[in-house]
Chains A and B, each alone.
Chain A
Amino acid sequence: MRVFAPRSRRTPSFSGRSVLLDGVSDYIDLQGGTIDTSIRSSVFWRPSRNRVKTSPFFRPASWMFWIKVPAAELTAIKLERTNTGEGIRPIIKEQGADFTSGGDGYTWPGNHIWLVGAGTDQVRVAAGWGRQGNATVAKRILRYGSTNVQADTWMQICVAWTGTTDQDTVNYDPGINMWINSYAQTMTAFYPDGTDSGELTTFPLNSGYTSGPPATTIEASNFNIFAGCNIGRNLNNHTNMYISECAFWENYELTNDDVTALYNSGDALADITTNSGNYTGGDDIAATINNLTFSGNPYNNGIFRVTDAAGTAKDYRFYSDGATGTPSGYANGESVTDSSGTSVAVHFNGANGTSANFAAALTGSAGHGGTIIPSHPTSASIRLTQQTAGPTGNVKWGIRPYVLGSGQDETNSSATTIFSRFSGSFTGGTQPLAQWWKFNGPATDATDNRLQASGKAVDSSTEFPNTSYWQYAWTSASLNTEPALIMGGTWTTDFPTELI
Chain B
Amino acid sequence: MTKFEYIIITIGNYTQAQLNEFESHCSNLFDYARYNKDKTKYLLKLPLNKPTPESFTPLTRYNSNEILTLLSSNEWQSVDSSSSDVSIADIDAADAARTPDGE
Asked if A and B bind, the verdict is yes
User: A residues near B, CB below 8 A?
Assistant: 1-2, 4-7, 9, 20, 22-26, 29, 31-33, 47, 95, 98-99, 101-102, 106, 108, 206, 208-209, 212-218, 221, 223, 227-228, 230, 233, 235-236, 485, 487-488, 490, 492
List of A residues within 8 angstroms of B80 by Cβ: 98, 235-236
Q: Quick one: which of A33, A101, A108, A209 contacts B84, CB cutoff 8 A?
A: A33
Cβ–Cβ contact B68 & A23, under 8 A: yes
Please measure, in the bound complex, the distance between the C-alpha atom of A214 and the C-alpha atom of B85, giving whole angstroms: 23
Residues in B13-69 with C-beta less than 8 Å from chain A? 16, 19, 27-34, 39, 43, 45, 64, 67-68
Across the interface, name the chain A residue whose C-beta is closest to B98. Answer: A215
Interface residues on B, range: 35 or more
Please measure, in the bound complex, the distance between the C-alpha atom of A469 and the C-alpha atom of B3, giving whole angstroms: 51
Cβ–Cβ contact B71 & A24, under 8 A: yes
Cβ–Cβ contact B68 & A24, under 8 A: yes
With A24-B64, A218-B98 as given contacts, are A212 and B103 in contact (CB-CB < 8 Å)?
A: yes
Cβ–Cβ contact B31 & A22, under 8 A: no
Across the interface, name the chain B residue whose C-beta is closest to A20. Answer: B1
List of A residues within 8 angstroms of B91 by Cβ: 99, 101, 108, 223
Cβ–Cβ contact B1 & A492, under 8 A: yes
Cβ–Cβ contact B31 & A5, under 8 A: yes
Cβ–Cβ contact A230 & B82, under 8 A: yes
Cβ–Cβ contact A23 & B88, under 8 A: no
Please measure, in the bound complex, the distance between the C-alpha atom of A228 and the C-alpha atom of B91, giving whole angstroms: 12
Please measure, in the bound complex, the distance between the C-alpha atom of A274 and the C-alpha atom of B34, giving whole angstroms: 39
Q: Quick one: which of A235, A236, A488 contacts B28, CB cutoff 8 A?
A: A488
Please measure, in the bound complex, the distance between the C-alpha atom of A1 and the C-alpha atom of B19, giving whole angstroms: 13
Cβ–Cβ contact B16 & A2, under 8 A: yes
Cβ–Cβ contact A215 & B31, under 8 A: no
With A20-B1, A99-B88 as given contacts, are A213 and B31 in contact (CB-CB < 8 Å)?
A: no
Please measure, in the bound complex, the distance between the C-alpha atom of A230 and the C-alpha atom of B80, giving whole angstroms: 12
25 contacts across the A-B interface (CB closer than 8 A): A1-B39, A2-B30, A20-B1, A24-B67, A24-B68, A25-B33, A25-B45, A29-B32, A31-B84, A32-B86, A101-B88, A101-B95, A212-B101, A213-B101, A214-B103, A215-B99, A215-B103, A217-B94, A218-B102, A218-B103, A223-B90, A228-B86, A230-B82, A236-B71, A490-B2
